[in-house]
Each structure stands twice: as C-alpha cells, then as structure tokens.
Amino acid sequence: MHDLVIRGGQVATSFGTVRCDIGVAGGRIATLAEHIPGGENVIDAGGLLVVPGGVDSHCHIEEPREDGGVMEESFVSASRAAFAGGTTSVVCFIPQWKGQGVWDRYQDYRARAARGMLDHAFHQIISDPTDAVMEEEVPRLVAEGVRSLKVFLTYEPLHVTDAQYIRVLETARKLGALVTVHCENFDAIRWRTQRLLEAGLIGPRYHAWSRPSVVEREATHRAIALAELVDQPIQVFHVSCAEAAEEIARAQARGLKVWGETCPQYLTLTAEHMGRPDGALFMCSPAPRGADEHARLWEVIRRGTLDVISSDHCAFSIAAKRGDDFSTIPNGIPGLAARMPLVFSEGVSKGRISVEEFVALTSTNAAKLMGLYPKKGAIQPGSDADLVLWDPARQVRITNALMQHAVDNTPFEGMDVKGWPVMTIRRGQVVMRDGQVQAEGGTGEYLPRAAYGMAQPRGITPNGFGA
Amino acid sequence: MHDLVIRGGQVATSFGTVRCDIGVAGGRIATLAEHIPGGENVIDAGGLLVVPGGVDSHCHIEEPREDGGVMEESFVSASRAAFAGGTTSVVCFIPQWKGQGVWDRYQDYRARAARGMLDHAFHQIISDPTDAVMEEEVPRLVAEGVRSLKVFLTYEPLHVTDAQYIRVLETARKLGALVTVHCENFDAIRWRTQRLLEAGLIGPRYHAWSRPSVVEREATHRAIALAELVDQPIQVFHVSCAEAAEEIARAQARGLKVWGETCPQYLTLTAEHMGRPDGALFMCSPAPRGADEHARLWEVIRRGTLDVISSDHCAFSIAAKRGDDFSTIPNGIPGLAARMPLVFSEGVSKGRISVEEFVALTSTNAAKLMGLYPKKGAIQPGSDADLVLWDPARQVRITNALMQHAVDNTPFEGMDVKGWPVMTIRRGQVVMRDGQVQAEGGTGEYLPRAAYGMAQPRGITPNGFGA
Amino acid sequence: MHDLVIRGGQVATSFGTVRCDIGVAGGRIATLAEHIPGGENVIDAGGLLVVPGGVDSHCHIEEPREDGGVMEESFVSASRAAFAGGTTSVVCFIPQWKGQGVWDRYQDYRARAARGMLDHAFHQIISDPTDAVMEEEVPRLVAEGVRSLKVFLTYEPLHVTDAQYIRVLETARKLGALVTVHCENFDAIRWRTQRLLEAGLIGPRYHAWSRPSVVEREATHRAIALAELVDQPIQVFHVSCAEAAEEIARAQARGLKVWGETCPQYLTLTAEHMGRPDGALFMCSPAPRGADEHARLWEVIRRGTLDVISSDHCAFSIAAKRGDDFSTIPNGIPGLAARMPLVFSEGVSKGRISVEEFVALTSTNAAKLMGLYPKKGAIQPGSDADLVLWDPARQVRITNALMQHAVDNTPFEGMDVKGWPVMTIRRGQVVMRDGQVQAEGGTGEYLPRAAYGMAQPRGITPNGFGA
Amino acid sequence: MHDLVIRGGQVATSFGTVRCDIGVAGGRIATLAEHIPGGENVIDAGGLLVVPGGVDSHCHIEEPREDGGVMEESFVSASRAAFAGGTTSVVCFIPQWKGQGVWDRYQDYRARAARGMLDHAFHQIISDPTDAVMEEEVPRLVAEGVRSLKVFLTYEPLHVTDAQYIRVLETARKLGALVTVHCENFDAIRWRTQRLLEAGLIGPRYHAWSRPSVVEREATHRAIALAELVDQPIQVFHVSCAEAAEEIARAQARGLKVWGETCPQYLTLTAEHMGRPDGALFMCSPAPRGADEHARLWEVIRRGTLDVISSDHCAFSIAAKRGDDFSTIPNGIPGLAARMPLVFSEGVSKGRISVEEFVALTSTNAAKLMGLYPKKGAIQPGSDADLVLWDPARQVRITNALMQHAVDNTPFEGMDVKGWPVMTIRRGQVVMRDGQVQAEGGTGEYLPRAAYGMAQPRGITPNGFGA
C-alpha cells in the first residue's frame, strides 16, 4: 500500500510535533499513524526530526542578464545546493528589461528551470509596465500560475516610479496576484552614493553607508501606503531592520494584508563584515546593519510581523565581485543551502524560536503566501511527500564545499551551526542522503501557484502555544 | 485494526483543515489517512467538520458551598450539557473556605466528579493560604495533577489580600503550578456598591454600575505586576473588556507568561440585559459591558491577546436568582452547552475568525495551557479520540431545553446561531448523536494535568495564515 | 515717557494672563506694570483681552503667476483683511517657475509687498533646484532674511522629485534655513484623478476623492524621512488629518526637529461642503476631511504635535473658481481675516484650548519658528507693540464684507463666532478700530528673519499649566 | 516709586528670557521695563540670570514624630538651606497618626513654621480617615488653605488600604483639594524584605532589592485607576523610574488630571550608592535605580510627563542613620539646598533642558499645581518679588557646609555643579548674598493655597519653543 514508510521520527510541523510514522504513496503522504506496519522500503528516523521540505520563496537562479548572459547559478547547481540544505521548492524570478516584454522570457525560463531537480514557481519582475505588458502578457502569466509581480523601488535600471508601482498594484488587484516589493528609496541612495564617492569613500564598507535604515523605512511606508490606496496585498521583501518592520506591524494592526520577509544574512551578518578585505562578498541590499539589529529582528519575527525567512539567493563568484567602487560591485550573496541550517541553529538551538516556528518560517508560511499550500509546506494526508530528516544535535562548520552551489564563496564561511539536514526527500524520492545529492536533472516540476494566503487579516497569536 | 473509522469529514484543527479519514483504536486516534479502507464501524462525516472535543477550562460544577450544600449543576447533568454542546473535557474548581484545608475537599470532589461522564481536571481555589495548606496540602494536590491555584481578588468571603496572593504565587512557582486570577478590585467595588445602595439604586442593572471597567483593569495590572515580581506565570480569567486586555498585551510584549481568557457572555451580552425584568439572569462578574465592547474583544482575540474562550459556567435556577438587591443576588450564568455554538456562530459564521481559530479558542489552547495537550485538544496519532462532528450550516435557536443543564434558564435564550454539533465522541465512544446524550454515569475520567503550556514567550503570529 | 498706554486689560500671552498696563514707546513695548500713571494717549482695555498681533506664516498674497499675472489679493487688500482679523505680520511666498531664477523675483516681490501696510517676511518656493539657483541665488536670499525654502511634493508644475527635494534639504542645511513642505503624493493623486475623470466623476466633490488621507500620510512620512536622512529641520504645512499628524508626532518622539501646521479650514469645513452647488469655493489642498476629523485634529493640537495654525490664505473670486472639472478648478480659499476669530471661537469659546494656547497657536509659535521672536509674537519689554484688543464675548456672524479681502467669497460665510478683535495696533499705531482699517499703504515693513526656532527637541509639556 | 530695582539681568521665566529691569514695590513686582531709571536701591544683575524663587513642594521640615519628638531640621535651619539654594517657598507635611486627629496638629505646626524665614504652605497626611477627621477636621483645614491630602500606599504605620485611599479621594473631591500619593505596594515590599532578611541580606544595599520598579509601577497604576474611579485629580510623588512615569503618561493621554513629580536623587544617585560603607546615607523611598534610569527620566521630564522636581527633603544625621538592618534604618535624605543647583547643572549646563524649563520644573509648575501662582513662581507685575540671581557659569563642588541644613551629611557630597545662586530675594528683601543668609526668624509667611492648577487636560506642547 505504501511506497515508503518513514518510521519513528519526531514529525514536526508548523503547529506541533508528534511521534508518528509517515506512509508515502505515489509521491504523496497517504498516512500518518502511530504505527505503520511492514514493509520493504522503510527509513528509520529514530532520534531525528522529520520536517516539511523547505520552501525558499526568494531565489535568483539562472536569471537572464540584460546583456544576454545568465547568472552563474544554474537550476542544476541550485538544486544540489537546495537539497543539501533541506529545501525542496523555490520561487524564483523572471526579469523584465525596460522596453521588453515578458511572455517569451517566461517560456524560456520555464525551459531552463525544467532542467533542474527542484520544484519551482515564479515571480515576474516588472520594470516597465507598459499597456502591452500589463494588459496582455501579465494576464497570460497569471493564468499560467505566476501569481506575483515583483517591483524594485530602487536598483537601476529595474527600479520603478510611484506611478509605475501603482500601475502594477492595480493590475495585480484585477488579476488576484500578489505584489512583492524591494523597499529602498532610489533617489536617497543615489544622493548618498554620489556624496560618498565625491569624498573618496569608495570601498565595499561604504555600501552600508550609502543606504541607511531610514531609506528602507521610508520606502516600506510608501510601498504599504500606495498598496493601501489601491487596496492590494503586498509582501515586503528582505526586511533588514526593526525600523522597517515597525511599518509593517502598523499596517497589519490596521488590518491590511501586508506581509514581511527577512533573510539569514540580516540575522547573522553586520555592516562590519563589509569592512573586511573580502568585504565585497558580504554586499547585498539592503545592507546588513549593526549587530544589535539581530536581536530586534528576532523579536519582530517572534511577534509574527515577519513570517517568512527566505535566502534572497543571488550568487556571484569572487571574480565577479572584484572592484574598487562599491557602487559598481554587484550586490547579492548565495544562501540557498545555508538558509535552513542557519535559521535552525540561530533560532531553535539558541532558544529563540521553537521547532514549529522554524518550520513555519522556512516552509509553511511561504507555501501559504505563495499559494502552494497544502501541496507544499505541510505533513498531512494528501500533501506532497517533501520531507527532511533533521538531526537537531549535529554540529557543523559551514564551508563553501558543503553549500554545493556554483560559486566559490559563501558569506557564512566558518560559521558553526548546530542542527543539520541528513536526508532530503522530494515527492517520496530520497534526493539527498548524508550530503550526497542523488537526483537526476530534469526531475523538478513546475508549480502553478494559487492565490496568495487566506482571507483573514490576522490569525490567533498563540502566546507560548505556537508550537 | 480500527475500532471506528470516521470517513470523509473535513478534519479541522487549530492549524488547518484537511479532508481525511480518522481511524480510532483503543479510544485513541491511531491513523489519519487519505483513505482508510474497511470496515464495520464507520461513521460518515461527509459534508461535516470534524473538530477536537471542546475543552472548557473554567466551569463551576457540583461545587460545595460554604453552608454544606452543593451547586445545582451535578457532574451528571453537566456532562449532558457539555456533550450536547460539543465539549468533552472540563477543568472545574475545588473551593477552599477560610479556616479550612483542601485535601479532604479534593478527595470528596474526585468522588463526585467520578459519577459523571465528562473527563475532568481541577483548579484549586485558595482563599486562606496558611502554612499548613500551602506547605503540606497543596504540594500533595499538585502531585495529584491539580496544577493550578485560583485566587479571587474580589468576592467576599473568597477574596485574598495582595500579601495572600503573593504567597500563592510563591508556592505555585516552587511547585510548577499555574495561577489563575479573578481580577477586580474588592475595595473599589465595595465602595461603589455602598454608594449605590445608599442612593436607592438596588436592582440588578446596578450590578454593572458597581464594577466599571476601571476596577477590572486595575486588578489586572496589579495581578500581573505581582506575578512579575514573583516570576510566576498566570492566566487572567474572564476578561470582559479591551481595557483589561490591553494590560495583558503589554505584559506579553514584555515577554511575561501571562495569558488571558474571555467568555461568550462578554461577546454577546451587554449591561443593558441586566435592566430587563429578568435582569438577574444575566448577572455575572465581571459584568457584561456596552455593546461596542464586543467588537473590541474580538479584535484582541484576533491578535491573540486572549487565547482561550471558556464558559465560566455557574448555573443558578430562577428561584435562586430572586431578590431585590443586586449585592445579594448570586452571580453566575450557565454556559457549558452554549459556549461552542456561540463562538462558532459569532466567530466563524460571521466571518470574524477562521474554523481553525475556533478550534484553538475552544479546545487546543486550553488543553495546552492546562497541561492536557496533546491528549486533549488535538487530532493526531496518539491523541484521545475526542471528536465532534459539526454541521457548519445548521441554524438553531437556542432554548433552555437544548442546553440540557440542570437549571431552568439560559441567558442566551432565543439567540439564533449558525453551526451546531451533531455528534460528540469521547475517547472513541459516541456520547451524543443529534442531541441525544447516550453516555453512562461514571465513565468520565480524571485528568491529572502536566505543567502549563510551553516555554516560548510568543509563537509565530500567522498573519492571515493562522488557519 | 510713553507714546501710548494700554490700560486695564487682561494681557494674555502664550504663557499666562495678567492684569497690567502696557507702555509703548517708539513703536515698541517699553513697560509692563501694575499701573502706569499719566497721560494723554491712553487706551482703555477694561474688560478686554490684549493679545499679541497675529502672525500668519502661510499666506499667498499678490503672488506672480506663471502667465505673468498676479493673484487677486494685493498687499494693500491683504493688509486690510489681516488687520480686520487681528493679524499684523505675514510670511508669504515667492514662487519659482521651472527654468527660471529667484533673485529678480525677490526684488520685484519686495517692491510689491512694500506697498501694503502689513509687516511681512518671505518663504522662497523652489520648483527647479538648479546649481545656479541653489548655489548662487538662494544664499543671497537667505542673507536677506528669507530663511525658508518651500517645496511642493505635489502640484503640477511646481512639484519636485525626491532627488530635488533632497537637494533643497541639503542646501537649507548649509545655509541654516528652514524647509517647509506641502505633503501629498503626486503620482497617487494623478492616478486617482485620472480614474475619476474616466468614470465621469468630475465635479468639485471629487476633489476630495482624488486625494484621500493616505496620500497625505505617505508624503508626510517621506518628507520627514528624507529630512532625517539629510539632518535638516522641516515644517509640514497644512496638516489636514490625524493620520498625517501621527507621523509628525512619531518624528518628534524620535527627537527630530519636525513641526506641523494646520489651518482653520481643517477644523471647520468638511468634504461634504464640496458637494454643494458652490462646492468649488471650498476646494483647497489637502482637501477637508470628514467631520469626525475635527475632534482628532484638536486632540493633536492640544498635544502640541501641531503648534501653528495659519490660514493658507489663497483667494480666488467666484469667477475664477468656475468650471466643471475638479482637476482644473484652482485650489485655495481666503482665510486671512477669519483665521483668528475662528480659532478663538472654535478653540477658546468652545473650551477646547485656553486663551494662552490661542496666542501660541496664532502668533507666538509661528514667530518663533519663523525667526521673528521676540520682535513679534510677544508682549514683553523690547518687543514690537503689535497688539490686539479682543472682546471674548462679542458674537459675530461671518460675512464676506467683514473679511475685507479682495475677493467676493469666503468659505466661512454664515458661521457664527464668539470672540472678536475690536482694535489692532501695529508697532504702536492703531490700524484697525471697530472694523475700520486706518493704515496707509506703504507702511508695512519687511522682516528679515533669523534662524528657525530653538535648539531643544521638545519643551516641557505643561500638563494643565500651559496657560 | 520703586523700593528696589534689579537692573540689567537676563530675566528668565518658564516661557522665555528677556533682558529687562525689574522694579519692586511693597514686596511685589511692580514693573518690568527695558529701562527703569533712578535710584538708590539698585542691584546690578549684569551677566546673571534672574529667575523666580524656587518653590519646593515636597519637604519634611520639623515634622512631629509619633514618639512626640520632631525631625532634626527646624524651620529656621531649613530656611537657611532653602535660601542658600535659591528656594523661597516650601510646601511641607502635617502628619496624622492612626487614632489621632489633625486640627490640633495643624495649629501646632503653623506655630512652628512661623518661627522660620521661608514662606510655607502645607500638605495634610491622612493615615486614618475616620468620619470625624474626614467630615469635620479636614474641611476646616481646606478652608484654611491646606489644599492637598497626602497618602502613603506603603510605609508602616502611615500606609492606607485601598478602601481608605478611596475615602480620601472622595473627600478631596468634595472639598476641591488635591491628593498626593506615595506609590509603592506595601505587601510586595514587606514580602521581599522578609525574604531578604531570612537570607541574611540585611545591609543598606538591600533596601533597593526590597522595592524594585515593578512595585512602584503597580502602585502608580492603582493610585491612578482609583482616582479615575472617583474622578479626583492626583499628583504622583517622587517618581523614580520611567516605568512608573509611563503609567502617568498613559493617564494624561486619556485626559485625566494626573501629575508627576521627581527629585534630584533619582537623576543623580543610583542603587550602587547604597552599597558603599556609608550606604545608609543614600537610602530613600523609592530607592534610586540603575544609572541608565537617569536618561530615561530626563526623557519623560522633557516630554512633560513629570513636570515638577522637588527635593523630598527629609534630613537625618549620620547617627540617626546607623544600624545594620535596612528595614529599620530611617529613609530620607536632605536636598533642600542642593535641589536647584543640581537641576540646573544636570539639566541646563549639560544641555538636557532650557533655562526656561529649569524655571518651570523648580518653581512655576509647582506654584501652579499647589495653587500659589501667580503670587509665587512668576516674574510679572503683581507677583511676589521672590527672585534669585543665578550665575550660570559658577562652578561649585557640593559640600555639606554649603548646604546649611541642620544635619551633618548630604548624599550629594563632592558632586561638581555648574551654575549657582548668588543672591536670593524674598518678597523684595535680600535674604541670601554670596552664601550668607541674612534673614531673621519669624519672617516667613503662611501661604493659604488656592485650588490646584487649571482646568485644561493638557497645554500646548511647545516643540522646541518651550522656552
């Protein structure tokens, strides 16, 4: 009856942990039971946690560049990194370049993604919301299950004006898509950058100086206010500081559908890292803040203001990061493999969150917001059998080799973590065992997404019962 | 393999709803599966919700009175009322009278409770924390699984001074017990009452005048502050207004383990009801407030500040409520049977909360806080098979007959609700079907409780994902 | 020794009221004394309040238009209106048109203003912050005492981008000038306007629909955040709603030098007025809100968040306001004469503020922020003898004739006020007596301004002692 | 015409500073003028500030003890200390002992106070609110100008129950008197003290351990809530921490008439001081907190939450403070002379407040709240000529000798201050010149008080204009 039985684990979901067996049939979870008898294909999970496969809803993978090239991380290499770190599904980005359309790009990107092993869904970046794109192409994309439009309020040449952002919100509202937003003020950063360069302050450390918290807070408030005007739900991406999170909390308290994401780099790295000789390897946007920000961010995570932790994986090799001038060094760091171990170690092992909150933050909440739940993000009858066997006691020092991604560096090099994924199962198939990835290219599935989340403005806050 | 299979229902827990079958063996849930094949003892739950049996953590049942009598509601009649309304477990109160001990009372109360059909656990009321009681008897009670001490900050002759309350907190801290508190200021109410009586304002409507919100807020702040001083978790009982709930929210934001409960009467009744000719039937403490308080309370429920809705069931017959002077009419109303239908109807059917939040508020959260989880409050392998088949579309007008309790009145008489329990199963046995209670006396089990809740100060707030 | 003695009045300043005589010499206050003996030129103020002459820091008077014309209200007519309403000093605006400079305009405007009878100072509007303007002309203006730069975040063709606004902030910071800001989001209003017009919703009432509170709040937050980035004090003009004022209060609590102004129209008019047949006469920006906003604004005034009430006087005749399409009807209403009576009547006579707060809001605070204090806004030895004898009991119905301005309408027509100025004295000269203005053109003086306000982030909040 | 002219000073009041001359006649201020010509009795205040004489509204002077003795500080010695430190008026305490009345005590105390040189008013302590006292004696006292009733929520044997406190509030409300409150929880402190003593933790340092902030916050919330219930204004005495001040701020935001006082010891001393060998000399209640509390208190002072800084002068000699057990060492420290120099130095000289705020905090606000304004606390025609010539640049190291009080110690010994009073004038008479006190005993006047403060819930918050 079952193709596979996982026996004896502590099955941890976003709401609780129970010792039970899991029976898998046809790639899906068929049965949860105190004991499933038999059989041949049994995995012993004794002493381990069994958690839902990670859902990383913010990854830049094999993304086409404006010059015709693509990012260094391919879907194949990204799949290896993801499985190594316990992630089984990703949502990645189709770019739009100004003056260009999106439909052809989508088809091309579908083909690229199909070569990998990861289950995958897409965000569509909008940088040029022309009538043709918004009225003809985007509706087709949404019908294909690309249910979110991403805008950059900063980043040349992708950034949009308020008028363009409003246009995106309006279209998303009609189509039932989510809007996701990179919130920093373009003009403010440009002004600061110009003044820094004029003063000869050009190294990577000045990247953080060019974009202080206030420019993120401003854009966050603006993004929310305009979404409120148009009556459209949004997710604020990669919140780096409590100051910006406060704007999200205020919006949530007003009953708005505004969600916030953060990333492991904002919980572990600081602006100081960019002052090192290899500082460029830590450059991402927003920039990591002071060390005291970590505790503040954990606090807003615990309050539920930020409810998704994704990687914002965007890998560049050391060679690509070379340069003297912070304003021309590419931004972004790889994090696909490190994400779940870092969140588990900093969160669960250090007593900041429960195991259940770990699952919510790294898998379930993203699955819900991205319209993938309960196919993904859950361990219940009918869900895909995406499962990770997690050893909560395993101590590991992060090295680039362990990350298994395409590039030659990780900003988390040398960090010690406690808790590690020892086996990853994707739709009932073991795709990683003890660090060995054993999936074949082309086995990843496209995930057409349903509408975002659910209708309620706020769920019950479980005060100490959350897990 | 299974004694009973519930097939085809929408299984709703505090975290989500999934269509699956439930297999019961030995009174416990053995299996959740997409499909359980076979067999003889199958219940068709098609079109119905299947929710965990209700846990009502605040009930006055067959409580001994100081004069040697007992309350009108026996454990047998209370079991009927509970099953009729979808509740399968209760936590009720052992009183202590000043100058008396608690251990003998406990044994007597265990015997009384054993005659009923409900699974039951106890709070111990402390009104006279002498050395003998606190150092000898209470530790024995806690060892028996009576894991909470209840104090009244008002109510003659049960109320305690701050010094006595501190003593209770200190003892509970050593023993790992929870403290639950009735928060109103005794002196303030006595003063107001005296002034009202002097002015000839004596009818039931003046009960509300004698105890405005500010006396509840004051005592709530004080109860929390002294608990903070002693470093002891507490639950604030029957919060009637947002003003008091705000004090709880502030404490939670400071990281304190303070939980808050409310009751259906504060969500449906108002001070106006006490102005009716039968106003005494609506008298309880705290008093119901203005009608605008209902929306404010739902708001703090949605934010998780108040996470348990219990009944504060305390039944008096019309004869017992007779009298001209509000200060001598007994306080309390029956609510054991009406609780879950009212919360479902006012909450879920009116779009204020999700089905999952309904389960959390009426069953799971109380089970966790009372140390009964996951035996109670859950639908997962290993949990007791306490299940309710709930028809979300059934429209019912509440009458006293439907309540099946011992007394001749309900304050909810004539209210229309949408959503109704059509079958109640206790440990795998059908104990109510279509309103017919079919359990035998003496089948209720005593529930020795574990420690309260869990260690985290706050769980993840699922923003729209809660359910 | 004294040219003039004002005897027997209740002398009210922003801090207190005292019965004393005022001796004037050389146009200035020489003496305050319990009794000043003598002499010939004595005014009996018995039964009256004596308050400092009003300072209206936001007036559009005889402003050049882009087409080469000027506004209907001349400095002569404005002086009549001001004196009639108890105001003796104004701060008005020199416009800059895109592609044009500011120095010549200043000289022209000085000449125009000199023809009137009011003491006057200037704000410089910046709509095109080119290098030439910001580095050459503006420093000259500041040296002349034009100590504030005004920017519009909306209003075509005057509005500026964030980059331009930052440029203005940066220049003001170097020069020690204040920046004053019209806060509404340009793109958001344009989008709403376009959608309304497409839907055929074109009358004056839709002016309010085109610019809801959220667009004002957004721009207020942004204006403050960018000022925080540049470290430059700002005043937020004409705050119309508590939602925007909250952003100011938050900034003040962070210790930022951010001040907020409101106007009588936001305390007395509503969006409903624009639905009348003569609705265009009530159109101004931001638009008046719902009637419940008045109480909220008084609350933030009482808390000190908004500390200046000016008129935003901008007069158009009925003919100029004609048109069918709200997007083309000119915005602005006259309020120079009505300002102080409305604030006194709605504020003091209705018990919302004290007489001292009235003085602070209409005179002293503006004088301080505009760098005119203690020459203006005070009754103390050495200050200009700008004094108003105010009858707190006089009841008047506002008519356009009483306003004495150049145009044929007032949006306050027919409103009843209690409290009225019966005599206005400017630098020791009686310029209005019982409604009769008796000053000669050309007697107004230019007021070169000092730096804004003072250094402290927040003064003592007098809790009930303020006045 | 004038008996005395003070020429050339910077006259600083709570609202502003102006260079002018002050003419005194008959002990009162007759004239403020740019220049007062003549005459014989002229004091040159060039280079100095001239501020209103300090009003210290919280002093224990020559207070009768229960055993029939009196406190060491007599009205004569206290007058010396006060004048040395710039204070010209005090409000001190008539005690009531349980079982005793208050009227005879008042007459005795009037006689004692009359022997000193300070102008004086009284608070009446109520520890036993019997019918006779509250209905017969207290009304007579209020008619005599004793317009405040003081209660202790802790301190054996003076402390009152909630019921007694309510009685005091009710009486004060009828009589138009203020209620002032010492807010700490009696039972909580007793419990902590007992536990500390049991553990052998008995030295002065444990005084602070026995009464943490939470017991002050609790009592503050309770004092306010019961005052809200009765609808009676109160002043919360000697607020030692921001946590308690927050409760006051919340009450003020609700529009309640609740005022807060703090003292120099809470701005300069810490709990660490009590760990010194002479730790007993720093013991007062509430206890000084951690050093980080100072900044938080200045913040709430700047926001106006706390608007009076008095000394809580309560002097004990070293001999009286001897003992091993903190629970039996008398509480209280002398501060009458040090108060104004400490507030000026820590406040004005360190840039935390303006000169005007200094005047408000040490003189004007207390005068207003105590019903002594504008006779005291003001420099305006008609006010008493209580004036202090203050040298803002004078640097002084505090010694006990400089304090001129009766006891042999000051907790501020060795502290360096910048800013010092060089002359004190009481009702037109120079009573201190360069530290030499030159007033004769018996010249102090009794000050019958008017009703508290004013009617408005909150004045204008001058944002940067406060001074």
If you measure CA to CA, which chain C residue comes closest to A221? Answer: C218
Is the separation of the CB atoms in D58 and D24 below 8 Å? no
What's the pTM?
A: 0.94
User: Quick one: what percent of chain B has pLDDT higher than 90?
Assistant: 91
Q: Note the pLDDT tens digit of each residue in B165-210.
A: 999 999 999 999 999 999 999 999 999 999 999 999 999 999 999 9
Determine B/D contact with 3+ CB pairs under 8 A as the test.
yes
Asked if A459 lies within 8 A of B301 by C-beta distance, the reply is: no
Does D26 touch chain C if contact means CB atoms closer than 8 Å?
A: no
Distance from CA of A223 to the nearest CA of C (A): 9
Is the separation of the CB atoms in B80 and B405 below 8 Å? yes
If you measure CA to CA, which chain A residue comes closest to C229? Answer: A214
Does D209 touch chain B if contact means CB atoms closer than 8 Å?
A: no
pLDDT of B28 > 50? The answer is yes
Instruction: Compute the 3-state secondary structure of chain D and give helix, strand, coil in percent, each to the nearest 5.
Output: 35, 25, 45
The packing angle between helices D213-230 and B213-230, to 10°, is: 170
**What HEC string does B342-368 produce?**
HHHHHHHHCCCCCHHHHHHHHHHHHHH
Q: Note the pLDDT tens digit of each residue in B258-287.
A: 999 999 999 999 999 999 999 999 999 999
If you measure CA to CA, which chain D residue comes closest to B188? Answer: D163
The CA distance from D165 to D167, in Å, is: 5
CB-CB neighbors (< 8 A) of D459 in chain C: 302, 304, 354, 356-357, 461-467
CB-CB neighbors (< 8 A) of A222 in chain C: 185, 218, 221-222
Question: β-strand D416-426 against D387-397: which pairing, if any?
Answer: antiparallel
- pLDDT bin (cut points 50, 70, 90) of residue B68 is confident
Complex ipTM > 0.90: yes
Instruction: Report the side by side order of strands in the sheet with C42-44.
Output: C42-44, C4-7, C21-25, C28-33, D28-33, D21-25, D4-7, D42-44
| For residues B59-82, average pLDDT | 95
Neighbouring chains of C at 3+ CB pairs within 8 Å?
Answer: A, D
- Phi/psi at D373 (nearest 5 deg)? -90, 140
CB-CB neighbors (< 8 A) of A32 in chain B: 31-33, 380-381
Asked if C187 lies within 8 A of A161 by C-beta distance, the reply is: yes
Does A191 touch chain C if contact means CB atoms closer than 8 Å?
A: yes
Distances (CA, A) of A420 to A51, A60, A307, A336, C75: 12, 24, 22, 14, 78
Q: Give me the torsion for CA of B199, B203, B206, B210, rounded to 10°.
A: 70
Does B418 touch chain D if contact means CB atoms closer than 8 Å?
A: no
Among D166, D191, D212, select the one facing B188 at the smallest CB separation. D166
Q: Note the pLDDT tens digit of each residue in B211-228.
A: 999 999 999 999 999 999
The per-residue pLDDT for C466 is 33
Q: Which of C90, C75, C164, C179 is nearest to C127 (CA)?
A: C164
Numbers of helices and strands, H then E, in chain D: 15, 19
Residues 351-410 of C with CB under 8 A from D: 353-354, 356-357, 360-361, 364-365, 368-369, 374, 378, 380-382
Distance from CA of D452 to the nearest CA of B (A): 24
How many interchain CB pairs under 8 A, C with D?
A: 207
CA–chain centroid gap for C215, Å, is 22
The CA distance from D21 to D35, in Å, is: 6
Does C464 touch chain D if contact means CB atoms closer than 8 Å?
A: yes
Question: β-strand A436-437 against B28-33: which pairing, if any?
Answer: unpaired
Is the separation of the CB atoms in B210 and B196 below 8 Å? yes
Type of residue found at D408: D
Q: Which of C267, C348, C335 is nearest to C78 (CA)?
A: C335
Is the separation of the CB atoms in A8 and A45 below 8 Å? yes
Asked if D459 lies within 8 A of C463 by C-beta distance, the reply is: yes
**Residue A384 has what DSSP assignment?**
B
Place of tokens 């020489």: C30
Is the separation of the CB atoms in B234 and B179 below 8 Å? yes
Q: Which two structure tokens, joined as six digits, stand for C314?
A: 């901008």
pLDDT of C61 > 80? The answer is yes
CB-CB neighbors (< 8 A) of B190 in chain D: 163
Neighbouring chains of A at 3+ CB pairs within 8 Å?
Answer: B, C
Complete DSSP assignment for D36-77: ----SSEEE-TTSEEEEPEEEEEE--SPBPTTS-B-S--HHH
Domains of chain D from N-terminus onward: 4-51+381-393+418-437 (2.30.40.10), 53-378 (3.20.20.140)
Positions in chain D whose pLDDT score sits under 70? 453-467
pLDDT of C335 > 70? The answer is yes
Numbers of helices and strands, H then E, in chain B: 15, 17
Q: Note the pLDDT tens digit of each residue in C316-330.
A: 999 999 998 999 999
Distance from CA of C93 to the nearest CA of A (A): 27
CB-CB neighbors (< 8 A) of C19 in chain D: 382
pLDDT of A465 > 70? The answer is no
Is the separation of the CB atoms in A311 and A91 below 8 Å? no
- Phi/psi at D441 (nearest 5 deg)? -55, 145
Instruction: Compute the 3-state secondary structure of chain A and give helix, strand, coil in percent, each to the nearest 5.
Output: 30, 25, 45
The per-residue pLDDT for A453 is 63
| For residues A389-410, average pLDDT | 98
Contacts of C40 (CB under 8 A, 6+ apart): none
The per-residue pLDDT for D365 is 94
The CA distance from C56 to C340, in Å, is: 9
Q: Which of A313, A317, A310 is nearest to A334 (CA)?
A: A313
Is the separation of the CB atoms in C398 and C336 below 8 Å? no
Is the separation of the CB atoms in B60 and B92 below 8 Å? yes
Contacts of C374 (CB under 8 A, 6+ apart): C367, C380, C382, C383, D16, D18
Among A34, A360, A455, select the one facing B381 at the smallest CB separation. A34
Place of tokens 């500011």: C102
The CA distance from B199 to D461, in Å, is: 42
Distances (CA, A) of D279 to D265, D269, D284, D319: 14, 11, 11, 13
Average pLDDT, chain A: 94
The CA distance from A226 to D40, in Å, is: 72
- pLDDT bin (cut points 50, 70, 90) of residue C453 is low
Residues 290-309 of A with CB under 8 A from B: 301-305, 307
Sign, Cα dihedral of B181, B185, B190, B195: negative
Neighbouring chains of D at 3+ CB pairs within 8 Å?
Answer: B, C
The per-residue pLDDT for D453 is 63
Q: Note the pLDDT tens digit of each residue in C240-286.
A: 999 999 999 999 988 899 999 999 999 999 999 999 999 999 999 99
The CA distance from D417 to D349, in Å, is: 9
Asked if C32 lies within 8 A of D259 by C-beta distance, the reply is: no
Q: Which two structure tokens, joined as six digits, stand for B178?
A: 């929870």
Contacts of C346 (CB under 8 A, 6+ apart): C264, C267, C268, C352, C417
Does A248 touch chain C if contact means CB atoms closer than 8 Å?
A: no
Around D116, how many Cα atoms within 13 Å sit in the side-chain half-sphere? 29
Determine A/D contact with 3+ CB pairs under 8 A as the test.
no
The C-alpha angle with vertex C437 and arms to C436 and C441, in degrees rounded to 5, equals: 155
Q: Which of C336, C312, C345, C358 is nearest to C420 (CA)?
A: C345
Q: Note the pLDDT tens digit of each residue in C169-213.
A: 999 999 999 999 999 999 999 999 999 999 999 999 999 999 999
The CA distance from C406 to C317, in Å, is: 8
If you measure CA to CA, which chain C residue comes closest to D302? Answer: C460
Type of residue found at B85: G
CA R_g for chain C: 21
Determine B/C contact with 3+ CB pairs under 8 A as the test.
no
Q: Which of A132, A139, A118, A166 is nearest to A311 (CA)?
A: A118
The CA distance from C319 to C8, in Å, is: 47
Distance from CA of B242 to the nearest CA of A (A): 15
Place of tokens 């004898």: C389
- Phi/psi at C388 (nearest 5 deg)? -125, 130
Q: Which of B297, B323, B302, B234 is nearest to B462 (CA)?
A: B302
CA–chain centroid gap for D144, Å, is 21
Asked if B461 lies within 8 A of A305 by C-beta distance, the reply is: yes
CB-CB neighbors (< 8 A) of B381 in chain A: 18, 20, 32-34
Among C161, C170, C212, select the one facing A187 at the smallest CB separation. C161
Asked if B456 lies within 8 A of A357 by C-beta distance, the reply is: yes
CA R_g for chain B: 21
The CA distance from B227 to B351, in Å, is: 36
Mutation target to probe the B interface, by most B beta carbons within 10 A, among A19, A458, A461 is: A461
